Amino acid sequence: MASACDRLRDLKAFDDTKAGVKGLIDAGITTVPAIFRHPPDTLARAHDEDRFAIPVIDLAGVTTAPSRRAELVAEVKAAAETVGFFQVVNHGVPGPVMSEMLAALRSFNEEPAEARRPYYSRDGQSRVRYHSNFDLFRSPAANWRDTLYLDMAPTGPSPGEIPAACRGIAVEFTREVQRLGGTLFELLSEAMGLNRGFLEQHEAGCLEGLSVVGHYYPASPQPHLTMGTSRHTDPSFLTVLLQDSIGGLQVLHRQRNDEQPVWVDVPAEPGAFTINVGDFLQLLSNDRFRSVEHRVLSKSVGPRVSVACFFRPHGAAAAASVCAPILVGDGAASPPRYRSVTVEELIVHY
């Protein structure tokens, strides 16, 4: 068994290449290095998709049909309170914008390592950074994934800071996701019994910050030994995910408190965004809405490409954004389950 010193040496050697997991693939490896191997009990792939499916919500008519809007509020409320995940279709984001964003991210990751290295950084204050595993030196096992971070709002990077492959589409994609986020926060506000603009205007800054995070999951020579992304919840108010057709995302779901949770596949629904409640929104809702664990399997096919858009303040705004349980409607009868806390404190804790 490798010692802690050996592991640290291997982690540093991998990080120093600044080429990510894609660099390992380009080098022609045929086995998964030890630093990426996960304990067997975390790799269980059994899942149950016969008893449950992730809700798909059709947003058509959300702004034009009042009766349909009431139905949509009810659907979003049910999904946020039970599963924490749902997919949306007819959301208004043009298909070409979605496909171009995925293609741009894939193009960046498949450039020569020399072209990617200038963006490789572990400086969390940088608005543009590329690396493999934000927690590389802290997690028990690394994930088979490289990531490009673009902190796009409230103040985004200058066009010249964004990699050329993504430069033309990133701003347009961000604008479309912000518009969709506004619609979703309105529906979630109404689902909590509040006026539709409440969460957008809340002092926590639900809609003020947006990080566009592009993940690249190369095909693995031994997918049964590693993970694309370990089980986790999201440090955000809301996450809007665009995934390609490869699939691999799973949600840990428990229908009743007395039953064992099971992993449920989130299908790669064409033209859909996958939406999930983040930790911060669970806090604001006083546990009415659920931020649930999810993960991404490593696969022998690929690469898989996805774009996760995290609605959360960052930088100085995170220190000024205050989260506290909102007690209204049905929730007013329950005592607050959390104390008041800033977004910055939540992120540090995460």
pLDDT in tens, 102-157: 999 999 999 999 999 999 999 988 999 999 999 999 999 999 999 999 999 999 99
Domain ranges of the chain: 18-349
Name the superfamily (CATH) of residues 18-349: B-lactam Antibiotic, Isopenicillin N Synthase; Chain (2.60.120.330)
CB of 314 within 8 A of CB of 152? no
- Characterize 305-328 residue by residue with b for buried, 16 or more Cβ atoms within 10 angstroms of its Cβ, and e for exposed: bbbbbbbbbbeebbeebebbbbee
The pLDDT score that the predictor gives to residue 67 is 82
The pLDDT score that the predictor gives to residue 316 is 84
Asked whether the whole model's pTM tops 0.75, one would answer yes
**Across 172-182, average pLDDT:** 98
**Across 41-56, average pLDDT:** 75
**Least trusted range by pLDDT, from 222-226, 306-310, 332-336:** 332-336
Is the pLDDT reported for residue 50 higher than 60?
no
Is the pLDDT reported for residue 261 higher than 90?
no
Band of the pLDDT at 41, cuts 50, 70, 90? Answer: confident
Structure tokens at 67: 């009766």
| Rounded (5°) CA angle 87-93-94 | 125
The pLDDT score that the predictor gives to residue 53 is 85
The pLDDT score that the predictor gives to residue 95 is 97
Band of the pLDDT at 187, cuts 50, 70, 90? Answer: very high
Is the pLDDT reported for residue 47 higher than 90?
no
Band of the pLDDT at 273, cuts 50, 70, 90? Answer: very high
Of all residues in the chain, the percent with pLDDT exceeding 90 is 81
Pairing outcome for strands 85-89 and 56-58? parallel
Is the pLDDT reported for residue 46 higher than 90?
no
The pLDDT score that the predictor gives to residue 314 is 86
Of all residues in the chain, the percent with pLDDT exceeding 70 is 95
Q: How confident is the prediction for the chain on average, in pLDDT?
A: 93
The pLDDT score that the predictor gives to residue 90 is 97
**Least trusted range by pLDDT, from 5-19, 194-208, 260-274, 316-330:** 316-330
Q: How many angstroms separate the most distant Cα atoms in the chain?
A: 63
Residue 158: C-alpha distances to residues 51, 126, 175, 196, 334 (Å): 48, 12, 15, 33, 46
